[in-house]
Amino acid sequence: MSAERRADVDSEALARRIAAIADGKKAVDIMALDMRRLVAYTDFLVICTAGNERQAKAVHDDVYAQLKADGLLPDHVEGVREASWVLIDYLDCVLHVFVPAERDYYRLENLWGEAPRLDLDLAGAAPRAASGGA
Q: Where are the domains of the chain?
A: 11-118
Q: What is the homologous superfamily of the domain 11-118 according to CATH?
A: Beta Polymerase, domain 2 (3.30.460.10)
Query: Which residues partner with 32 through β-bridges?
Result: 46
Percent of the chain with pLDDT over 70: 87
Using CA atoms, how far apart are residues 4 and 52, in angstroms rounded to an integer? 31
Its pTM stands at 0.88
Could you report the per-residue pLDDT of 34-88, keeping only the tens digit for each?
A: 999 999 999 999 999 999 999 999 999 999 999 999 999 999 999 999 999 999 9
On the question of pLDDT at 21 being above 90, the answer is yes
Dihedral sign (CA 83, 73, 68, 18): positive
